[in-house]
């Protein structure tokens, strides 16, 4: 039997409803139990200004690095079931709107995917300081494959490009210090 290859995958975690830090912690606990998957690193938590067209409360965001032999779609299914177990209702929620927990698959090894359920690398990854800052804190050298959304770059390179274009607003993504 062929031994499935393990690849590095990057996940973005976000919450802006209820006990935000607890939701991120519960999600990480559940991620640890995904089959054929190991948690390699988890970033500190950052408090971030909401991005997008809908007025809503501040988010807590973090990033995690996994090693997995699951396919991109199998890993996405596992992340969606964790979202549901933490009370996320995708039907009721608005796109871009407030959410108890959001687990976004950002990068899965060298996979480049364009599909109705999944785009890899994540199409908006390079535009989002609330994703790149936590991710760069744990995996600056992780390679983002080339896709329609941009060239092959490390996470640190993508963050430097975003900074150079004014996409990193001072104070909009700061380390979270619970009181
Ligand atoms: N997620 C969104 C919309 N806007 N803003 C921040 N700061 N952090 C998020 O995780 C976020 C957002 C939709 O997924
Ligand atoms: Mg999502
Ligand atoms: Mg999201």
In this structure, of 22-31, 89-98, 114-123, the range with the lowest mean pLDDT score is 89-98
In ligand 1, which atom is closest to the CA atom of 15?
A: 10
Q: What is the pLDDT of residues 41-64, one digit of tens each?
A: 999 999 999 999 999 999 999 999
| Residue 97 clears pLDDT 90, i.e. is over it | no
Q: How far apart are CA 20 and CA 56, in angstroms?
A: 14
**Residue 98: band (very low, low, confident or very high) from pLDDT cuts 50, 70, 90:** confident
The answer to whether the CB of 27 is under 6 A from ligand 1 is no
- Among 37, 165, 161, smallest CA distance to 105 is for 37
User: What is the pLDDT at residue 95?
Assistant: 87
Query: Which residues are tagged catalytic?
Result: 88, 99, 102, 104
Residues 6+ apart with CB under 8 A from 150: 126, 144, 158
**Residue 168: band (very low, low, confident or very high) from pLDDT cuts 50, 70, 90:** very high
Closest residue by Cα to atom 13, ligand 1, is 96
What does pTM read for this prediction? 0.96
- Long-range (24+ apart) CB contacts under 8 A made by 112-116 are 112/145, 112/146, 112/147, 113/72, 114/147, 114/148
Q: How far apart are CA 22 and CA 29, in angstroms?
A: 10
| Residue 165 clears pLDDT 90, i.e. is over it | yes
């Amino acid at each position: 039997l062929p031994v499935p290859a393990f690849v590095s995958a990057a996940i973005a975690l976000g919450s802006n409803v209820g006990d935000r830090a607890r939701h991120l912690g519960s999600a990480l606990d559940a991620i640890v139990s995904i089959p054929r998957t190991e948690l390699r690193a988890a970033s500190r938590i950052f408090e971030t200004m909401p991005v997008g067209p809908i007025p809503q409360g501040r988010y807590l965001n973090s990033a995690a690095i996994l090693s997995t032999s699951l396919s991109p779609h199998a890993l996405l299914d596992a992340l969606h079931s964790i979202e549901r177990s933490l009370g996320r209702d995708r039907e009721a929620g608005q796109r871009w709107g407030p959410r108890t927990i959001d687990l976004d698959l950002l990068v899965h090894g060298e996979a480049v995917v364009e599909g109705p359920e999944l785009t890899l690398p994540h199409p908006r990854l390079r535009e989002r300081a609330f994703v790149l800052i936590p991710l760069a804190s744990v995996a600056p050298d992780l390679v983002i494959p080339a896709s329609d959304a941009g060239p092959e770059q490390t996470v640190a390179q993508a963050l430097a490009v975003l900074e150079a274009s004014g996409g990193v607003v001072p104070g909009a993504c700061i380390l979270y210090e619970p009181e």
